[in-house]
């Protein structure tokens, strides 16, 4: 037994079939000869009738269609939902139209545009006409057009080249539309113009010569120059030129040039060049010598390096091998380290004995770093000259020794002072008892006083680190120092004079330190006059609050280049000088809020010492 729903359905199907039969003659021609696929569906989606176009397209025979073809068999799975949606709309009386794919009996796929048209009999919908237009071809054509368009778009969007064709005179006979985008000129604005008129004045000669070469050699040319845009701005372009040669005469007819904007590239190149230059300068003028070597071959050396090895120019170095620059004692270790670096390791600074071009030896610290130079594995060698440092080190040791000697002297002074006190005591007793040798006793007494003074000065020198600021009378201080130096001075035929026109000049100072300054300056003056001379010490008030003390000698003075360096630690021109005197003096004076100035010529040297005066006066 059929259900009521089934009954309604078959009832409708009967109505549909009746309808089709009744209208058969009316639509026969239209139906059978139609170029579109036409089929009729009952409301359940069964195909009840189809035209030959449909049968051809789908591959189902007339009987196959009538008997069992259902809507869902006609469409690929992914389309079925959509189709049924439209179909049910048609069953509800709507007229849907849509594109979809249809699948043939043998599995081919075609694109169709389908219209569903409801069929109503007695006000009820009993079936649906389906008219399918094959749009496969249309789609293909559309696709093709889209591809062509896409390709054109790709081409036009990416055309960074201007193609210019010029005749023998250089007149532009063709220019590609891209010129508008790249140069700002529409093609007709520059056609017939001479191409060289667009080239930057500084580049014209070059561009002209290159054209001539292409014309005469009949070979392609490559060139870069600046070209003027319509806006007046110049851009760098690269131009590839090809001569077009006539078949018959074999003469050049035209030159076709492909011109590309390389402004950006130029900029990048220039920046890279600048960076490299900076880097090169860094290396070139680095305080360390730098050598780049491959095996024993020197590929690069910087200025410092050339100087270090005593070369007048770098070429002299390039004629040498690295082995020739290393002391034979160090060849073995150099070889080992070379292998190490070539294996990719950085070696630490190590002391090496190296040889200058003239064969003399020097000591340096050497470090090796693996690097790439001109595309090959090489060694970046840093050489640090340590001659100076060694010397400084020795001097430091020396001054260390000196200070030890100073302390020793101070110790001795201390020891000598005790017996001296005893001797002085006995001498006084003897003096009272012996009236015959009064003058002798006086001499002994004054010599003893002198010894005592010198000893006490030595003791002062022994304690340079105890800083004690006191109000001190400057003139007394200077007199004391003068006394101390006088003996040595007289031995050298030197006269020391102290000139001053003010008394009671008090300064706040560490007496011992200031004494050391005066001794240093006086000793230098004495040492500058091996054949004798005069030293004048002058004291003058300077403004309200300062005093100037001049130490003038009549010694040999110093030339400008030495004067410039005086005061550098360890700078000395003396065989056993320490080169510390002036430096220490400067430091002390500056610590006292003062200053030192030096003048010098062949007539002698003047040292000016400026110091602040204490506000209260000593009485
Ligand atoms: P040093 O006396 O140990 O050499 P200094 O620092 O005291 O060290 O002096 C440095 C150098 O300055 C001396 O070697 C000398 O060349 C120069 N110099 C200093 N004072 C004088 C001077 N009065 N006359 C000439 N040269 C001087
Ligand atoms: Mg000195």
Distance CA 161, CA 176 (A): 9
How many H helices and E strands in the chain?
A: 19, 22
The reply to whether the predicted model has a pTM over 0.85 is no
Distance CA 412, CA 383 (A): 47
Handedness of CA 567, 573, 579, 582 (dihedral sign): negative
Q: Is the separation of the CB atoms in 107 and 84 below 8 Å?
A: no
* pLDDT of amino acid 399: 62
Both tokens of residue 192? 């017939």
The enclosing domain of 310 has a CATH number of 3.30.450.20
Rg (CA), the chain: 55
Among candidate residues 520, 523, 602, the one with its CA nearest the CA of residue 556: 602
Task: Tell me how crowded residue 491 is: count the other CB atoms within 10 A of its CB.
Answer: 10
* pLDDT of amino acid 467: 64
Q: Tell me, yes or no, whether 333 and 450 share the same domain.
A: no
* pLDDT of amino acid 143: 77
* pLDDT of amino acid 397: 63
Among candidate residues 195, 157, 158, 199, the one with its CA nearest the CA of residue 175: 195
Q: Tell me, yes or no, whether 493 and 588 share the same domain.
A: yes
* pLDDT of amino acid 298: 92
Q: Tell me, yes or no, whether 294 and 350 share the same domain.
A: yes
Q: How many structural domains comprise the chain?
A: 5
DSSP 8-state symbol, 148: H
* pLDDT of amino acid 618: 39
Q: Model confidence over 207-223: pLDDT tens digits?
A: 999 999 999 999 999 99
Neighbouring-strand partners of residue 163 = 258
Distance 549 CA to ligand 1 centre (A): 18
Q: Tell me, yes or no, whether 66 and 181 share the same domain.
A: no
3-state secondary structure of 228: strand
153 inside domain: no
Q: Model confidence over 102-141: pLDDT tens digits?
A: 999 998 888 889 999 999 888 889 999 999 988 888 777 8
570: left (phi over 0), alpha (psi -120 to 50) or beta: left
Residues of the chain short of pLDDT 70, as ranges, are: 1-2, 67, 150-159, 396-411, 453-454, 456-467, 616-619
Closest Cα to atom 8 of ligand 1: 579
Q: Is the separation of the CB atoms in 459 and 414 below 8 Å?
A: yes
Question: Whose structure tokens read 């293909």?
Answer: 140
3-state secondary structure of 507: strand
* pLDDT of amino acid 283: 83
The enclosing domain of 409 has a CATH number of 1.10.287
Distance CA 496, CA 24 (A): 151
* pLDDT of amino acid 457: 58
- 236 φ, ψ (degrees, to nearest 5): -80, 130
Closest Cα to atom 19 of ligand 1: 524
CA 270 to chain CA centroid, nearest Å: 14
Output the ligand 1 site: residues, CB below 6 A: 520, 524-525, 528, 553, 555, 557-558, 562, 566, 571-574, 577-583, 605
Among candidate residues 86, 166, 190, the one with its CA nearest the CA of residue 129: 86
502 inside domain: yes
Task: Tell me how crowded residue 582 is: count the other CB atoms within 10 A of its CB.
Answer: 22
149 inside domain: no
CA dihedral 73, 76, 77, 82 (to 10 degrees): -90
Task: Tell me how crowded residue 603 is: count the other CB atoms within 10 A of its CB.
Answer: 12
Distance 457 CA to ligand 2 centre (A): 17
223 inside domain: yes
* pLDDT of amino acid 619: 39
Closest ligand by atom to 552 CA: 1
The enclosing domain of 558 has a CATH number of 3.30.565.10
Q: Tell me, yes or no, whether 198 and 291 share the same domain.
A: no
Structural domain of 427: 390-462
User: What number does the ligand 1 atom closest to the CA of 566 have?
Assistant: 12
Distance 200 CA to ligand 2 centre (A): 68
Distance 496 CA to ligand 2 centre (A): 17
3-state secondary structure of 547: strand
Which of 554, 562, 572, 605 to probe ligand 1 with, by most ligand atoms within 8 A of CB?
572
Q: Tell me, yes or no, whether 169 and 81 share the same domain.
A: no
DSSP 8-state symbol, 193: S
State how beta strands 494-500 and 533-542 pair: parallel
* pLDDT of amino acid 465: 52
* pLDDT of amino acid 549: 97
């Amino acid at each position: 037994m059929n259900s009521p729903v089934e009954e309604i359905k078959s009832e409708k199907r009967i109505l549909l079939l009746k309808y089709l039969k009744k209208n058969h003659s009316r639509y026969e021609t239209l139906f059978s000869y139609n170029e579109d696929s036409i089929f009729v569906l009952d409301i359940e989606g069964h195909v009840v009738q189809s035209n030959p176009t449909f049968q051809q397209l789908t591959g189902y025979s007339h009987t196959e269609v009538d008997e069992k073809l259902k809507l869902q068999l006609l469409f690929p799975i992914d389309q079925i939902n959509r189709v049924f949606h439209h179909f049910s709309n048609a069953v509800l009386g709507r007229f849907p139209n849509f594109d979809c794919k249809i699948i043939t009996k043998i599995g081919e796929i075609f694109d169709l545009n389908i219209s569903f048209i409801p069929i109503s009999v007695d006000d009820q919908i009993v079936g649906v006409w389906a008219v399918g237009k094959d749009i496969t071809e249309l789609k293909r054509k559309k696709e093709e057009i889209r591809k062509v368009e896409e390709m054109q778009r790709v081409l036009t969007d990416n055309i960074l080249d201007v193609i210019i064709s010029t005749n023998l005179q250089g007149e532009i006979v063709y220019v590609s539309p891209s010129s508008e985008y790249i140069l700002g000129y529409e093609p007709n604005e520059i056609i017939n113009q001479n191409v060289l008129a667009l080239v930057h004045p500084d580049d014209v000669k070059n561009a002209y010569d290159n054209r001539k070469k292409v014309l005469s050699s009949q070979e392609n040319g490559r060139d870069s120059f600046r070209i003027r845009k319509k806006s007046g701005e110049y851009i760098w372009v690269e131009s590839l030129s090809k001569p077009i040669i006539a078949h018959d005469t074999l003469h050049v007819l035209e030159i076709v040039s492909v011109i590309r904007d390389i402004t950006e590239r130029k900029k990048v190149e220039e920046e890279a060049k600048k960076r490299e230059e900076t880097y090169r300068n860094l290396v070139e003028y680095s305080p360390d010598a730098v050598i780049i070597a491959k095996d024993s071959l020197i590929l690069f050396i910087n200025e410092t390096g050339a100087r270090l090895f005593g070369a007048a120019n770098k070429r002299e170095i390039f004629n040498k091998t690295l082995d020739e620059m290393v002391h034979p004692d160090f060849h073995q270790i150099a070889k080992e380290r070379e292998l190490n670096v070539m294996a990719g390791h950085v070696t630490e600074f190590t002391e090496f004995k190296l040889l200058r071009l003239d064969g003399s030896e020097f000591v340096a610290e050497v470090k090796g770093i693996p690097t790439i130079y001109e595309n090959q594995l090489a060694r970046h060698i840093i050489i640090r000259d340590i001659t100076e440092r060694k010397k400084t080190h020795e001097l430091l040791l020396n001054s260390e020794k000196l200070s030890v000697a100073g302390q020793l002297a101070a110790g001795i002074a201390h020891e000598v002072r005790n017996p001296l006190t005893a001797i002085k005591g006995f001498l006084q007793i003897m003096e009272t008892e012996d009236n015959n040798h009064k003058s002798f006793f006086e001499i002994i007494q004054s010599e003893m006083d002198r010894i005592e003074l010198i000893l006490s000065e030595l003791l002062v020198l022994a304690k340079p680190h105890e800083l004690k600021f006191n109000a001190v009378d400057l003139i007394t201080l200077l007199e004391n120092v003068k006394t101390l130096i006088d003996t040595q001075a007289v031995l050298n035929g030197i006269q020391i004079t102290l000139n001053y026109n003010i008394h009671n000049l008090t300064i706040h100072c560490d007496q011992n330190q200031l004494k050391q300054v005066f001794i240093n300056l006086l000793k230098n003056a004495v040492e500058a006059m091996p054949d004798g001379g005069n030293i004048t010490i002058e004291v003058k008030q300077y403004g309200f609050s300062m005093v100037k003390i001049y130490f003038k000698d009549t010694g040999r003075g110093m030339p400008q280049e030495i004067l410039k360096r005086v005061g550098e630690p360890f700078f000395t021109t003396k065989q056993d000088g320490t080169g510390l005197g002036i430096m220490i003096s400067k430091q002390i004076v500056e610590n006292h809020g003062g200053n030192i100035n030096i003048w010098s010529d062949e007539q002698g040297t003047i040292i000016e010492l400026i110091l602040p005066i204490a506000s209260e006066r000593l009485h």
